[in-house]
Amino acid sequence: MAENSLYSDPALIAVYDALNAGREDYDFYLSQLPNVPQRILDIGCGTGQFALELAARGHDVCAVDPAPGMVAFAREKPGAELIEWYVGRCCVVPKSRPFDFIFMTGHAFQCLLSDQDILRLYAEVVARLAPDGVFFAESRNPAVRAWERWRPENAGPPVALTEGRTVQVAHQVTAVGNELVQFDETYRFEPDGLEIGSESSLRFCTKGHLEALAQQAGLGGRHLSGGWDGQAFDETRSPEIILGLKVQNA
């Protein structure tokens, strides 16, 4: 699988925020935070949208992402000086700084394509959570089979950019198997007609498997929802698996 240009192509990084303007996940996670300032780590921070909002609300924020271009873009935004930025996986964040909350938003958790990847991430989280800290992440529920709607004919409307430009995104699934979904994305810019392609793979784990791996890593359940409205998880209907995990016996 080729490198996902979504995280490295400057033209795509520049429109990332416009293409990800929805905030129901941010609002849900913000509702889990106490009003007093918290020590927070944002894993897979991308262009820093969530990290910047957390910092603006007075929280003490670190943010990390493996894509240098995304972090460089985030560092140029107003308020970025309030955040401690890192490039790499969670392991590059010092263990000496415990966090009350660790977030992994934007379905970034699904980029972990093997049990070993998930267990490594869980271990890195355990090493950085404060004694009563919570790790929040979400993954799409495989029972709902969201990828079946990822077709060019289901592309959403063009998204408005600056200076009268637009970009439209179309998806095409190329392979499904062993919990992995591979797909192409095409970004078409108008009026210039520029097209940029990107290849991605995501893993769709069941709730039970995610929780079993968490238990193996020393994490236990604290919170579980099946959607951003806080609905209880339903194995067959809920679109999301939203986990809140704490270090067991902490």
pLDDT in tens, 13-34: 999 999 998 899 999 999 999 9
What's the pLDDT at 40? 98
Q: Are 161 and 42 contained in the same domain? A: no
**208-244 pLDDT, tens per residue?**
999 999 999 999 976 789 999 999 999 999 999 999 9
Q: Are 215 and 199 contained in the same domain? A: no
Q: Are 54 and 150 contained in the same domain? A: no
Number of compact structural domains in the chain: 2
Q: Are 126 and 229 contained in the same domain? A: yes
**155-210 pLDDT, tens per residue?**
999 999 999 999 999 999 999 999 999 999 999 999 999 999 999 999 999 999 99
Q: Are 159 and 60 contained in the same domain? A: no
Q: Are 42 and 91 contained in the same domain? A: yes
Q: What confidence category does residue 2 fall into, taking pLDDT thresholds of 50, 70 and 90?
A: very low
**What residues form DSSP beta bridges with 65?**
87
What's the pLDDT at 250? 56
Q: Are 107 and 179 contained in the same domain? A: no
Q: Are 29 and 41 contained in the same domain? A: yes
Q: What is the CATH number of the domain that holds 224?
A: 3.40.50.150
**69-107 pLDDT, tens per residue?**
999 999 999 999 999 999 999 999 999 989 999 999 999
Q: What is the DSSP string of 14-33?
A: HHHHHHT---HHHHHHHHTS
What's the pLDDT at 223? 72
213 lies in which domain range? Answer: 5-142+205-247
% of the chain exceeding 90 in pLDDT = 91
What's the pLDDT at 6? 61
Q: Are 175 and 232 contained in the same domain? A: no
Q: Are 135 and 186 contained in the same domain? A: no
Please check whether residue 133 is in contact with residue 246, taking contact to mean a CB–CB distance below 8 angstroms.
Answer: yes
Q: Are 80 and 27 contained in the same domain? A: yes
Q: Are 104 and 192 contained in the same domain? A: no
**Bond prior to 191 in cis (omega within 30° of 0):** yes
What's the pLDDT at 3? 44
Distance of CA 112 to the CA centre of its chain: 11
